[in-house]
Amino acid sequence: MLPPQNAEAPLPRVRRVVVRGLFGLYDHDIPLTDKPRVTIIHGPNGVGKTSVLRLVDAALWGDAARVNGVKATAVEVSFDDGGARLAWPGNEGVWAQAGVLTSRADEARDRPLGPSRLIGVRRIEPVRGANRAGRSVSRPSVDWVSQRILTDYAGHLSAYGALAQRLDQSLLERLLALPPSGATPAKLAALLEAVHATQDRLIALGLIEGVGAPRVEATALAQLEPGRADALALSLSDAQAKLAVWAPFADRLEVLLRQVGGKLVHKTLRFYRDQGLVVTGADGFAIPLSALSSGEQHELVMTHALLFDVAPNALVLIDEPELSLHVLWQRRFIDDLIEISDLVGFDALVATHSPFIIGAHDDLLVDLDARLDPPGDAAGAAR
């Protein structure tokens, strides 16, 4: 199922990352972009872009094993609630913690996929079987992704059915106790149009069957007696409540089908309630998901992970995505990531060499400086 969207309080957002003494040479100060919630780090080979991501991931999870062999003096992560976590390599494979520690951030360390998610390009950090330390015990495949979406669909279908049953059983009682609502023809028309639009969208996504509710002419609405108008308004409000159950899942599925399907050449990606994700070739025949190219499979698995498995306010760390993407896909990467980040509500820190990944997003860039502080430079030493 989707990560919980209504926790007691949202996790604090990471707002700034400082890595000190990296390789014994560099201090990197990285403020995270607020709007959009995507920051790109860029710099010459050897300044430690990948190491920065690994160090941040290790500091947030409190697990030094994630950065074996990476030398750094300290990693400081600042949160939007004013708290900070200062970490440095300690004994027995555990990173020492100091400074002001926000309780919500500290609790989040025990949550799989939060507060950080590290995604590499040669392997996608899997989500299945994640333990309390955030490590995973198996890798997801495209077929597993399809099955996972079917499982999520079944969960939402069950919730939809339960709510529909509850509302339908209480409908008569609520109708008898219904006070005059003053439902006007214009209000009824707006409610009806909203229900139709939602139904049509869910049908197009393959989530519900049928052709939607019958269309009602505006003249017929204007002729309704007040009592019947009030009853229709209640019925339409119930319909809206039932359909709203699908909203989080539908929003994510729509983006998945559009972003991934839009990259498939001469192929169509759809969701079917009895099959899950199905790719169809130009000849109309189904193509097994496992027969897609490695790049297409990577795109499907990564996009699904970002949409369905990242907790709100988590920090997603993405290392050199260009290594698995064609130039045309690279040009779309940041825009697609921004759309997903806005929908799910996470922050992303992307390390890249590619000018195609960066594109027109210079405003999101943080350059990692390769210059060394000259000996005795007190200002540099204080950074």
Q: Mean pLDDT highest for which of 62-66, 128-132, 210-214, 313-317?
A: 313-317
* Residue 108 pLDDT exceeds 70: no
CA dist 60 and 14 (Å) reads 10
Q: What is the pLDDT of residues 59-85, one digit of tens each?
A: 777 766 677 778 888 888 888 877 776
For CATH 3.40.50.300, list the domain ranges present in the chain. Answer: 14-127+309-381
* Residue 104 pLDDT exceeds 50: no
| CATH code of the region 14-127+309-381 | 3.40.50.300
* Residue 239 pLDDT exceeds 90: yes
Smallest CA-to-CA distance from 156 within 2, 372, 49 is with 2
Mean predicted confidence (pLDDT) in 4-19: 74
β-bridge mates for residue 375, sequence order: none
DSSP, res 321: G
If residue 42 lies in a helix (H) or strand (E), which one and from where to where?
strand 38-42
Structure tokens at 139: 């890798």
Do the beta carbons of residue 310 and residue 344 sit within 8 Å? yes
Of residues 188 and 382, which shows the higher confidence score? 188
